């Protein structure tokens, strides 16, 4: 199997670090809203990868996080304050809704599904390693990673300093924090303020009361569950900088192991109503709303009709077409499952999947197989892709 690696910027032959086992970490949700189509595209894309790896005979160990707290968590905190509930309750309710939506989409639950708020001790251990190794510094109860200590910082994104500053500002990375030696230094632990509002979470640490940084959370949860080096790390392409860039720097500096991740895989962006689909734009298409009109299979069909790394535009007419297509296939498959195994089609299926998960071509192959009466192949391929037959 060949996969596009965002780190090397080329398609590479996939060979896991440990024979027979694949370790995967995928960045999870910030739980202050329900699941939208962009979430589904990312997590169903990796769901298909995991299913195919299992089909090939690999043991897959998969970790995903829930960012229920971080240093710049104003979205979840402001939403909780507005709804007059605790941040913990909002995170719990939103996470449960997300899991229910993904369960309906027939998503495989990760081996490890971790909340940042429940992994504070692990995070502190990693921050202490960075301090001990000379990559981090403490000031007024906060701790920061010095990017100037890492000569390779920026190797994933390839961004210039100007581009880094521009992107970091969009992510509210605390560029104006007066405690930072460099505006781009990474917040590992943000100290609580004397007059901090009651709705903002506070945790104890050797550095003082406060809360962990967004980026160190994922480094910690990945290392603690999957080891110091992992095979695949994934998420949306918009996380390359600053999040994944920071993860590489922190993880490699703390453990001394390179690479932290062998293959970086990123999913594309969905556009809707002329803009990137996002909470900040207010142009979300919620999965729960789509379930009112469309089946989980038709939504999965639409998602897999796009390569996982491509950007695409959502139009409801395409989902209507996906529903019609899948309904037709499902009806024909249910009427006749007795066709013989077609080894040529199985080889073509494998060839498509091995080509950087070319799912659009696989769906085309399945459609033609049903038209030509190769029902057994179509049924088998759909099940491998996670469709409910």
Task: Encode pLDDT of 262-274 as tens digits.
Answer: 999 999 999 999 8
**Distance from the first to the final alpha carbon of the chain:** 26
8 Å CB contact between 30 and 75: yes
**Which pLDDT belongs to residue 68?**
92
Residue 310 within any structural domain of the chain: no
Task: Tell me the CATH number at 247.
Answer: 3.40.50.620
Higher local confidence (pLDDT), 238 or 87: 238
Residue 158 within any structural domain of the chain: yes
Q: What pTM value is reported for the model?
A: 0.96
Rounded to 5 degrees, what are φ and ψ at 225?
-110, -25
Picking from 216, 250, 270, the residue at the C-terminal end of a domain is: 270
User: Count of domains in the chain?
Assistant: 2
**Which pLDDT belongs to residue 71?**
83
My answer on whether 210 and 344 are in the same domain is no
Tokens of 52: 């195919």
pLDDT tier, 217 (very low <50, low <70, confident <90, very high otherwise): very high
**Which pLDDT belongs to residue 188?**
98
Residue 229 within any structural domain of the chain: yes
Tokens of 331: 């009806």
Picking from 206, 237, 270, the residue at the C-terminal end of a domain is: 270
List, for residues 274-290, the tens digit of each pLDDT value.
899 887 777 899 999 99
My answer on whether 59 and 113 are in the same domain is yes
Residue 308 within any structural domain of the chain: no
Say what percent of the chain tops pLDDT 70: 99
**Which pLDDT belongs to residue 75?**
73
8 Å CB contact between 323 and 298: yes
Residue 299 within any structural domain of the chain: no
User: In the predicted model, what is the mean pLDDT of the chain?
Assistant: 95
Tokens of 31: 């739980």
At residue 137, does pLDDT exceed 90?
yes
Q: Which residues, in sequence order, are CB contacts of 112 under 8 Å at separation 6+?
A: 61, 62, 63, 64, 221, 225
My answer on whether 320 and 263 are in the same domain is no
pLDDT tier, 93 (very low <50, low <70, confident <90, very high otherwise): very high
Residue 146 within any structural domain of the chain: yes
**Which pLDDT belongs to residue 73?**
65
Task: Tell me the CATH number at 320.
Answer: 1.20.120
pLDDT tier, 242 (very low <50, low <70, confident <90, very high otherwise): very high
My answer on whether 222 and 335 are in the same domain is no
My answer on whether 264 and 320 are in the same domain is no
My answer on whether 117 and 184 are in the same domain is yes
Residue 98 within any structural domain of the chain: yes
My answer on whether 43 and 186 are in the same domain is yes
Query: Averaged over 209-224, what is the pLDDT?
Result: 97
At residue 297, does pLDDT exceed 80?
yes
At residue 156, does pLDDT exceed 90?
yes
d(CA 274, CA 277): 9
pLDDT tier, 82 (very low <50, low <70, confident <90, very high otherwise): confident
My answer on whether 41 and 120 are in the same domain is yes
Picking from 236, 270, 304, the residue at the C-terminal end of a domain is: 270
My answer on whether 333 and 211 are in the same domain is no
Residue 204 within any structural domain of the chain: yes
**Which pLDDT belongs to residue 279?**
73
At residue 197, does pLDDT exceed 80?
no
The pairing of beta strand 275-276 with beta strand 270-272: antiparallel
My answer on whether 103 and 242 are in the same domain is yes
My answer on whether 194 and 260 are in the same domain is yes
Query: Averaged over 295-321, what is the pLDDT?
Result: 98
Range of the domain at 341: 315-384
My answer on whether 161 and 23 are in the same domain is yes
């Amino acid at each position: 199997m060949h996969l596009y690696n965002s780190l090397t910027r080329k398609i590479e032959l996939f060979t896991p670090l440990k024979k027979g086992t694949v370790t995967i970490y995928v960045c999870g949700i910030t739980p202050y809203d329900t699941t939208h189509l962009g979430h589904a595209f990312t997590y169903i894309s990796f769901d298909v990868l995991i299913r195919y790896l299992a089909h090939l005979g690999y043991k897959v160990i998969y970790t995903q996080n829930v960012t229920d707290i971080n240093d710049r968590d104003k979205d979840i905190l402001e939403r909780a304050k507005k709804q007059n509930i605790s941040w913990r309750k909002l995170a719990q309710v939103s996470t449960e809704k997300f899991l229910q939506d993904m369960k309906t989409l027939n998503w495989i639950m990760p081996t490890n599904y971790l909340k940042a708020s429940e992994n504070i001790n692990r995070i502190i251990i990693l921050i202490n390693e960075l301090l001990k190794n000379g990559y981090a510094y403490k000031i007024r109860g906060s701790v920061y990673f010095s990017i100037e200590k890492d000569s390779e910082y920026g190797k994933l994104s390839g961004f210039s300093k100007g581009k880094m500053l521009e992107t970091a500002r969009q992510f509210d990375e605390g560029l104006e924090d007066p405690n930072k030696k460099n505006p781009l230094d990474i917040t590992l632990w943000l100290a609580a303020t004397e007059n901090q509002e009651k709705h903002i979470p506070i945790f104890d640490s050797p550095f003082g009361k406060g809360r962990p940084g967004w980026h160190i959370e994922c480094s910690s949860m990945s290392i603690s569950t999957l080891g110091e080096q992992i095979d695949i790390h994934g998420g949306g392409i918009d996380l390359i900088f600053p999040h994944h860039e920071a993860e590489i720097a922190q993880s490699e500096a703390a453990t001394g192991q390179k690479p932290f991740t062998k293959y970086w895989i990123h999913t594309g962006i969905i556009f809707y109503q002329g803009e990137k689909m996002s909470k900040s734009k207010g142009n979300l298409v919620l999965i729960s709303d789509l379930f009112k009109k469309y089946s989980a299979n038709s939504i999965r069909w639409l998602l897999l009709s796009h390569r996982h790394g491509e950007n695409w535009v959502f139009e409801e007419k395409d989902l209507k077409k996906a529903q019609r297509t899948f309904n037709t296939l499902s009806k024909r498959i249910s009427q006749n499952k007795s066709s013989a195994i077609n080894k040529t089609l199985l080889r073509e299926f494998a060839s498509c999947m091995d080509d950087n998960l070319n799912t659009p071509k696989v769906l085309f192959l399945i459609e033609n197989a049903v038209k030509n009466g190769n029902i057994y192949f179509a049924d088998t391929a759909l099940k491998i892709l996670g469709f409910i037959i």
